[in-house]
Structure formats: C-alpha cells, structure tokens
Structure 1
Amino acid sequence: MTSTTERPASPSVAKSPSWWDRQGDLIMRRPFNEWTFTHMNWLMPSERVARGEVHRPLHYDPHHLDLTYRFEGRDRSLAELHRRTNTTTFVVVHNGRIVHEYYPGVFAGPRTRMQLFSVSKSITSLLVGIALHEGTIDSLYDRVADYRPDFKGTAYEEVTVNNLLNMTSGVGDLEVWDVPDSGIKRFEQAIMGGGDVAAVVRGAPRTATAGDHFNYSTFDTQVLGWVLEAAAGMSLATYCSDRLWRHLGADRDAYYWLTRARPRSAIGGGSLNATARDLARVGMLMVNDGVVAGRQVVPREWVRRSRGSDQPQLAVGELGPSGYSHYGYSNQWWTLGSACFDAFSGLGVHGQYLFVDHSADVVIVKTSAWPTQDDENRDLETITALRRVADHFATTR
C-alpha cells in the first residue's frame, strides 16, 4: 500500500511484458499450438537424435474401435474423446502391430514429429537406466554435485540421482504455470529468451527434506539430464541416439529443441520431438522388458522399476498437491496401481501420452493440443478411455 509521503509510480513507467517474455504463452495457445507443437524446430535451436541404419516397419492390422468408455455418468465414444480432448494423433499397438491409427490434428500425420513435452522425462529415465547399467553413472545414490560442481552450495548439492528420478528432491515449490513469477515460468522465459537456465535452477529453494515427499518438478529432470551429460561427456541428443534411438528401427530421426543461450542445452524434462509411431516403438520396448529385436536395449529391471514403487509417498493417490489422485509415480513414469496392473504412462502438458499396459501387450500414443497446460478432468477422461481400449484388446489376446 502506498503511504501518503510516497508518489505512486506513473502508469507510463510500468512496462507490459514484451513479446519476447510472453512467447511461451503465445505459442501454446489454441489454435496456434496445433502448428507450434509440430514445428518446434522452426522456432528453437535443435539437435538431431539420429535413427539407426536398420528400419523395422511396424506391421499394420487395422481394427475399427467401435467401443465406448464410461465417464461422468454416461457412455462416450472415441470420437467424443478426440473432440473433447483436442487429439492430434492416436496410435494403438497390440501384440506388436498397429491396430488403430488416427491423425485428426491439422498438421499431424505418420511422419510428423510431435512436441512431447514431459513424456521426454520418461525417455530421460531410460537413458539414466542405461548409464547406470554401463557404469557411466556409478550409483543411484551419487549426488548432483559429484557430477555438476557448479551445484555446490545450492539446494541440489546433496540430492541423489534416486531423488531426482522419483521427484523427491525436496527442492522448489509447486510447479504452477498460471503464476507469472513461478519457478517454471522463469525457467521457460530463460529457455526461450536467452537467459541463464542453470542459474534459475540453482536458485530454487529447499522446501522439504530430500526423499520425504513427492513434488512434481521439471527442474529435477533437467538436473538429471545435466548429470547424465556430465557423466557421459556428450549431449543428451547424442547419448539418446547412440544408446536408444538407433536400436528402435525408427521411421525418422527425433530431435531435442535447445535453449537459446549458449552453451545450448536440451530440456531433458520437455523438449523431445518424435513421430507417434516412433514413440509407440518406445512403448513396445517397455512392454518387452527393454528388448528390441532380441537386443537388451534398456535393462530389464529398470523397465520393471518404472511400473511402480513400494515407497508409500509414491503410491496411487498419495502424491499430494502436485499429482492427480488417480496416479502414483515411479522412475519418471506415472503409475496406475493394482486397479490397472502393469499399466503406466509417460505424460506431457497439453495432453501428451505414452500409455503402456504390459499385461495386455498394448501401447497407446495420444498427442493433443489442449488449450491449457494442465487439466485434471481432461486427463482423467483420457486415462479412462485409454484403459478401456487396453481392456478391450486384453480380452482378445
């Protein structure tokens, strides 16, 4: 409140946010986001994730999915799901074959690389699992500062790789997109506006004891990616290509978009772009316990660790204010518990899904262009529908 001895600031002094500051908001608005989510390499610097020399086409065995799911007291069709949740791609794989494929997005198609947002986190987890198996990262209990000395003296200094994987670092506040000066908004502005991204993350405060509570955090995954890059001595894109992407039999190269400021950095928590079919190949790897064409690409135990955790604070319904009540969490994947045994999902804002049901041998990729980053009701409807599709094919095995 202004005292009587102070002069209020002149309206001409206060500056409205510039386009540069607001570009993150602008590119995510409907209907523009249907274009931006398929053209991120036109908007930001990027680095290729090269596919391998061997291409393994996915077999196509089309099914007409004339089924309904029950939501909010009524039966709804998949056409309603796509309309209500702004679907851009929808690919269903059962027993290793594409059984349903639909591209309602204006710019979407089988060869379109989609912005996957935080599904990228689940890919980062796979890369860390490979690095641990190889000995590139020594232990789950190595500290951040062991690999990134520039994090000494910060809240992340003593945080372990395991804390980062389960988002129990105890660093940072709730990740909220609708508060202009929130940590995640400052992070976004630094990425897109040429700011110091590492400085934003290093400045995050400690808010809880490490290991005690789940708090969804893109910062945690970003630090995890930086730890991996430091340990491997190469960029996230190069490591992803060499250890994962070239083994999938992918249709196309993927790519990470990078920060504007140098040294440019991939966003391990949100900047991978790939086709829906190639993302489905990642899901098939998860169904097959990390094996592709007879090769153990991701350690079997790492895949199984991603299906669920025995830590009570990570159980379904126990994540607290930063997780929806129908999810648990493990290893950078969202888990669904005993009601949907062996089912788990990578998730990204604006409605990106890599849904895996190991028991049913079903993988579903759904990308979307929601008008908002988060929407609990849209998410619950989507997961309800995806579980219904998986259940349908589980009964036809």
Structure 2
Amino acid sequence: MNQEKVAALEKKINHDYGNIAGIVILKDGTTCYEHYFNECTPDSRIHVYSVTKSIVSLLIGIAMDKGYIKSIDQKVLDFFPDYTVRRRERTIQQVTLRHLLTMTAPYKYKLFTPYIKYFTSDNSVQFTLDLLGGRGEIGNFRYTPLIGPDILSGILVKATGQSVLEFATENVFSPMGITVERNVIFHNKKEQLAFNQAKHISGWVADQAGINTAGWGLSLSPVDMAKIGLLYLNNGKWGDTQVVSTSWIEESTREHSRWKKVNLPYGYLWWIVDDKEHACAAMGDGGNVIYFNKKNRIVVSIASFFKPRVKDRIELIKEHIEPIFS
C-alpha cells in the first residue's frame, strides 16, 4: 500500500467528501484500511439510510431459505388476509414480493410524496398498503426511497412471527458480531433529526406498532457494514456458517429491473454497479455505501452523515480507492 497515495486519498476525502464518518476497506477478507473522520471512532454508529433496504433483502432471502416465505412471486396480500381492498381496486391484488424487491410496484401517490403523514403514522405498514396499487402499471421501475419498502417489514413479521430486529439479530447480527442494540422510536421531529446526525445511537427505527422500517432507519458502524459486504463477497458464507444461500446472493445481485433515468440496473434492493466484475452496492442518502467487487475481491464501506447533494461515492471508489487497494 502506497502511503503517499493513501495520504492523497484522505486529503481528497477531507476536501470533497467532508460528511464521511468512516471508511473500511477489505481485500481478500482482510482489513487493509480503516479510518474515521469528523470525530468518529470504531464505536460510532451512523444512520445509513437506504442501505437498510439491502439488509432487508438479505433477511427476505434468509426467510426464503428457512421456508417462512415460499416464493417471491407470492402476492403481497397473501400475508395480510385481513386487509380490506377498496372497491374497484384490483392492481394491489396482483403485486408480489418480487415487485417490491425490484422497485416495480405502483403506488397511488405521484408528484407529492406524503412524507408528513407517513412519519406521523402509528402503523407504517398499513399506511403504505393503502398507497400500494392505483393506476400505475406493474413492472415499471419506480424507486421509492421511504414509502413502499416497509411492506416487506410487515411481511417478515407475518411470516416469521418475530420482529424484524429479532429475526435479524438471531440470523445475521449475532452470528456475524454486528451490534444493533434496540428499537428506536421517535416521539417528535426533533428526536428524528437528532438521530440522523447522531454518532452513538445503536438501533433500528420502528413505528409505534413496533414494526421496523425497511427503507431507512438502521444505524451501523463502518466495520459492521463491511461485514455485510464480505458476506456477499463470500456467497452468503460467514466463517463456517452459511448465513444465506448462495443462490439468493446470486439471484438478488443480478439485474431484474433498471432505473432508466440514471441508467442504473437493480437487483433485489441492491444496485448493480458492474455486471462483468460482479460489483454491487447498497446505497443510502448522504453517501452511505456498502460496495463489493467479486473480481477484485474487495469490499468498501463508507458511513456518512446526511448532507444533500453529496459527491458520488461510487466514483470515489472506482477512481480513487480501487486503484490503490485492488
């Protein structure tokens, strides 16, 4: 490792990527770089925003492996038999887990996303189910940052009989030495804003009904994030334990849909960065990233505090990190 190049990298990060909290880089499963910024430490836990989605994808795969979910082509409403479908509302009845995982489910809201109502709702799953369907066409890519993925949390709870955090702790976090201490429930907007900038809150946001969020709300350390990347790099295996099936890793990290506006292929809540190198990423607001590249046998995790319109982290990885550490 060229120390001059590393020093130049850190100078660039401090100048152009000033909201980064920490970076961990693994090569062939070994830590070759770990550094923290903005007064963060290895004990810091940062809200990773939409990286949460990719963790939920992992949990869906484990639920499939264990037989809790029979198929991702199951209808969403199969898991909510008591849900009352409104008259003439047929689209929602055709939506499957696959549509949720690939961001190809339609929703009733269009130009104005009802974030205030969502954040003040006592039951985010019920709230989101009421918005699912409408006149949109099933199969068209529509990225839903917050309102949409929570249905997957509801499905996990219905299928496993556990909370999402309990299921994740038993099957992923504890076996892999990842720390997520508790549910985080907000009582007001001030608490939510504080969580977004916090360094030492270890948890997973849940609504008043105790359902963990699926599109955002998980806090992790850069080391914990890198462990998830390594799990995917090693085809679902952690040490001698097969945490999730290799088939799920392969299936969930190949292209199933595409965001044509930015020409980005999408798997099951994972972005496909380079199909030839089998490079994929979990990406969240502010520049939170778990990146793995199977060809180069490298994992990069970047935890960042929220800041609007940040510079592209994938560009940082491809142009400034991989050339040094690959």
TM-score band w.r.t. shorter chain: 0.7 to 0.9
Aligned to 1:208: 136
| Residue correspondence of structure 1 range 157-236 to structure 2 within 5 A | 157-173=93-109, 182-190=113-121, 195-204=122-131, 206-236=134-164
Match of 1:295 among 231, 235, 241: 241
Aligned to 2:251: 305
Structure 2 letter corresponding to 1:236 = V
Q: TM-score, normalised by structure 2?
A: 0.83
Structure-2 change in CA distance of 1:196 and 1:233 (3 Å)? closer
Q: Distance in 2 between matches of 1:171 and 1:146?
A: 18
In the TM superposition, what is the alpha-carbon distance from 1:127 to its structure 2 partner? 0.6
Q: Please state whether the residue corresponding to 2:303 is helix, strand or coil.
A: strand
**Deviation sequence 1:159-198 (CA, Å, 0-9, x none):** 1111111011122446x8xxxx5234432343xxxx4434
**Deviation sequence 1:66-100 (CA, Å, 0-9, x none):** 169xxxxxxx8442234322211111111111111
Structure-2 change in CA distance of 1:255 and 1:305 (3 Å)? farther
> Is the CA contact 2:26–2:226 (under 8 Å) kept in the aligned structure 1?
yes
| Residue correspondence of structure 1 range 31-42 to structure 2 within 5 A | none
**Deviation sequence 1:314-345 (CA, Å, 0-9, x none):** 24xxx134xx33x211100011134x621111
Q: Please state whether the residue corresponding to 1:353 is helix, strand or coil.
A: strand
Structure-2 change in CA distance of 1:207 and 1:102 (3 Å)? farther
Of structures 1 and 2, the larger Rg is shown by 1
> Is the CA contact 1:256–1:272 (under 8 Å) kept in the aligned structure 2?
no
Structure 2 residue 79 is the aligned partner of structure 1 residue 147: yes
Structure 2 residue 268 is the aligned partner of structure 1 residue 331: yes
| Residue correspondence of structure 1 range 1-397 to structure 2 within 5 A | 64=3, 66=5, 77-85=9-17, 86-106=19-39, 108-153=40-85, 156-173=92-109, 182-190=113-121, 195-204=122-131, 206-250=134-178, 252-258=179-185, 262-309=208-255, 311=256, 314-315=257-258, 319-321=259-261, 324-325=262-263, 327-338=264-275, 341-372=277-308, 375=309, 378-379=311-312, 382-388=313-319, 389-394=321-326
> Is the CA contact 2:48–2:304 (under 8 Å) kept in the aligned structure 1?
no
Q: Please state whether the residue corresponding to 1:112 is helix, strand or coil.
A: coil
Structure 1 letter corresponding to 2:236 = G
> Is the CA contact 1:63–1:100 (under 8 Å) kept in the aligned structure 2?
no
Q: Distance in 1 between matches of 2:314 and 2:291?
A: 9
Structure-2 change in CA distance of 1:147 and 1:280 (3 Å)? same
Q: TM-score, normalised by structure 1?
A: 0.69
In the TM superposition, what is the alpha-carbon distance from 1:391 to its structure 2 partner? 4.1
In the TM superposition, what is the alpha-carbon distance from 1:370 to its structure 2 partner? 3.8
Structure-2 change in CA distance of 1:285 and 1:89 (3 Å)? same
Structure-2 change in CA distance of 1:79 and 1:306 (3 Å)? farther
Q: Distance in 1 between matches of 2:49 and 2:77?
A: 26
Q: Distance in 2 between matches of 1:186 and 1:63?
A: 51
In the TM superposition, what is the alpha-carbon distance from 1:117 to its structure 2 partner? 1.1
Structure-2 change in CA distance of 1:217 and 1:114 (3 Å)? closer
- What is the number of residues matched between the two proteins? 300
Structure 1 letter corresponding to 2:79 = Y
Q: Please state whether the residue corresponding to 2:3 is helix, strand or coil.
A: coil
> Is the CA contact 2:124–2:150 (under 8 Å) kept in the aligned structure 1?
no
Structure-2 change in CA distance of 1:152 and 1:84 (3 Å)? farther
Q: Distance in 2 between matches of 1:227 and 1:198?
A: 9
- Identical pairs, percent: 21
Structure-2 change in CA distance of 1:82 and 1:153 (3 Å)? farther
> Is the CA contact 1:168–1:212 (under 8 Å) kept in the aligned structure 2?
yes
Q: Distance in 2 between matches of 1:291 and 1:153?
A: 41
Structure 2 letter corresponding to 1:387 = K
Q: Please state whether the residue corresponding to 1:219 is helix, strand or coil.
A: coil
Q: Distance in 1 between matches of 2:4 and 2:249?
A: 29
Give 5+ residue unaligned stretches, structure 2. Answer: 188-206
Q: Please state whether the residue corresponding to 2:254 is helix, strand or coil.
A: coil
Q: Distance in 2 between matches of 1:217 and 1:349?
A: 9
Structure-2 change in CA distance of 1:363 and 1:256 (3 Å)? farther
In the TM superposition, what is the alpha-carbon distance from 1:387 to its structure 2 partner? 1.6
Structure-2 change in CA distance of 1:293 and 1:346 (3 Å)? same
